[in-house]
Structure 1
Amino acid sequence: MAIGTTKTADALGLPTTVDLVTNSVQSFNGAAKVTWNVNASNNDPTLKIVQTFTVSGTVTLPNGVENPDNVPLETSVIVTVNKIPQSQMAATATSQETISENSAASMAIDGNPQTVWHTKWDKSDVLPQSIILHLGGTYPVDKVAYLPRLSGNNGIITSYNVYVSTDGETFTKVTSGTWANDNAQKLSTFDPTDASYIKLEATVGVNGWASAAEISVLQTETANK
């Protein structure tokens, strides 16, 4: 969840219903409504730091389900906000398609998984190619999340390097690896390090392109606790 997310159940992505199992071993999947008391949680969205907090909720039983033993109808969920807000980032790339469609680097940080960054369609820029995210500040980071394009598979990155920098000029490689050729979100983890810039370098991509629907950077969860 992004740092600075509004303090509401919807913004935090909390479920509106929960599963319920009764003493008679009846299961009611997603049938019990839950009301979250977000305001009582120890969360301050004005702080630009990692926060982990618990949100308590009250469950409403489905019709026909009784509670003769007066079991407390309470639940809770632990939420961690550690994703650096994309809204404060800027993105550049060594290759981007802006003629046949708008697949500029900025599409990878626009919060819309239906838009994509894509290297030039004519393949005049052969791999490896890179996208650089300016984080809008310096943060202790240890993860990059990569969401491939959701339609088709051209450009899905299957082999990569991740670099970090504090000045945007000198980059240090912190990890490399491979990802499966599918549309599921991928995660790259590395030792915690301070960074103002993250560079994701695609060394292999499907059919010789590189693309991304969304790229996110996560702060180290142990930071600022």
Structure 2
Amino acid sequence: MASEITYAEVKFNKTPPPANPKASSKKETPLSLFQRIPFWFPWVMSGILMLLSIALLICIFVPLRGWQTKTFLKSLPQNSTNLHCLLETEQKLSCCKEGWKLFQSSCYYFSTATQKSTWNNNELKCMEMKSNLVVINVEAEQDFLINQTKNLRETNFCIGLTEQEKKGEWRWVDRTTINSTRTFWREREPSEGDEHCVVMHIEGRPENKNNWNNVRCSHDSHQYICESKTFVFDCGF
């Protein structure tokens, strides 16, 4: 008996490939511009801006300081090339012209032995230098003047003190009257007579601060001491 052949229908179902896990994930959102900036970037920018600010301040104030200096120099008397200065505070500079001595808030000029004349002529010489014969207000000022002249030979320096029409009334060139507690007369001075002008009699004895002597105003053998205010320079901005 012949064998029977059995046919079976076999169906193959097409199985889809496994899903790609990467493809199935959601698409990432791109980072914004600020999110992509490194954390150190703001600090670097702050430093740069600070340096630019400092440079700007220098550019502004250095020319200003130069302008202040030029203005100050223009205010000085003519022929003032060199200055002797003292820094009184952080922002205040006091200066005197060349050849003048600085003490506290005043400048002093001591004439030489070849510059001798009468009291009135000496006062005119001081006025030509925009000053006056010295006015002595305190003991420290008297000490300063003595110290500046202690090495000189015997001589007289005119100071800004004269006797008025009223006998015994002494007045300074700035019109202030003499203070009896701040006088430095020599012994037995002031003397009587027509001696109405006052000099400092220098005799090489710096320990003796009482050296005022009244003399005739017409005597032409006296040197002189001029006094003026210092030139104040404001160093602040």
Question: Normalized against structure 2, the TM-score is what?
Answer: 0.22
Higher strand proportion (structure 1 or 2)? 1
Higher helix proportion (structure 1 or 2)? 2
Work out which structure has the larger RCO, using CA pairs closer than 8 Å and 6 or more positions apart in sequence: 2
Q: Which has the larger radius of gyration?
A: 2
